[in-house]
Homo-oligomer: A and B are copies of this chain.
Amino acid sequence: MEENKHVTIYDIAEKLNLATSTISRALKDHHSISDKTIKKVKKAAKEMGFVPNTLAAGLRGNKTKTIGVLIPTVTQPFLSSLISGIEITAQKSDYSVIIMQSHDSYAEEVNMAKSLYSNRVSGVICSLAMETRDTAHFEQFSNNNIPLVFVDRVPKDYNTFRVVIDNYSAGYKATKHLIEQGCLRIAHLTAGAEFGNLYNERKRGYMEALRDHNLPIIEELIVDLKSVTYGDGVKASNKLFDLKPIPDGIFASGDIIAASAVQTAKKRGIKVPEELAVIGFNNDPISEIIDPNLSTITHPAEKMGKAAAEIIIKNLKSLKESEVQEITFLNTEVLIRESSDRK
């Protein structure tokens, strides 16, 4: 097994008796190079197995055609769909995507932000870690004119691009739907809502909907989970079902939690949706699989990814310095399935 050296434009230049600058320009169809030379160069490049060295180009131009994605984890359906959207759009413009997971840890997020900066990504798309309270580690991007887009879990007080849904109105819609199904004692399962984030907004929508329909807000019906896991969902659900009377509706801030509520209810002989109507959030794959199917709020993950990537690419092309930082709102819808449908 011979150890081939990487083929460079120098090799091509030598073979064709041309300057490296000519090779470089020919490969990108520069107008100052004749068609004949362009063809000759491209042919030789292909034959010799030339693959451009991204590092060299990036170093010189201080840009890498790479979008850095910094998210809590790739395992959540919402986030992997987000990635999908980012990738689809990135690929169209010939950008690479580098993905890093913070695992919801602030310390890791700080590290990976540094790593992305160190890798001179052209832009950054981020959904904040659960733990994150301050955003100083993102200033290195803003300060160096690297476009930064926050998605879904966005900071409140940071002046940059954001792509979000209206969590308040989504929470309102979900709760209103349960009220329309005749629920009077509606519980809310949430996670980390004490911090000013998207869960907090959904909870606000929930409470406002209750108020608008003259229903009381009952503290013991609002359970704030430690983590968005099935196990914690089961615990919280059991807590609710130990109450007397039990709630007749649950709005869960995630489908995994909603699924745990449905399954726990079934185990305890509580009929869904007759005795208990349940609606989740996100439209995760599981919502279509469990029995009964889960009503939910659609969360346009892929669209959000596309939108975020478009913002990055657009702002790289035309770097209008003082452009107004914008917030992009995407739509959500109530998806009524079996778990909340009382006809």
Contacts and interface: CB of A to CB of B under 8 A. Distances in A.
Number of identical monomers bound together in the oligomeric complex: 2
Interface residues of A, number: 54
A104 to B, nearest CB: 13
A117 B100 CA distance: 19
B53 A120 contact: yes
Contacts of A3: 143-145
B120 A55 contact: yes
Nearest to A59: B55
A20 interface: no
A96 B115 contact: yes
Given A291-B291, A321-B1, A55 B143 contact: no
Contacts of A230: 285, 288-289
A114 B51 contact: yes
A114 B46 CA distance: 13
Contacts of A2: 143
A97 interface: yes
A126 interface: no
A220 B121 CA distance: 53
A254 B53 CA distance: 40
A216 interface: no
Interface stretch (A80-88, A169-177, A308-316): A80-88
B54 A118 contact: yes
Nearest to A4: B143
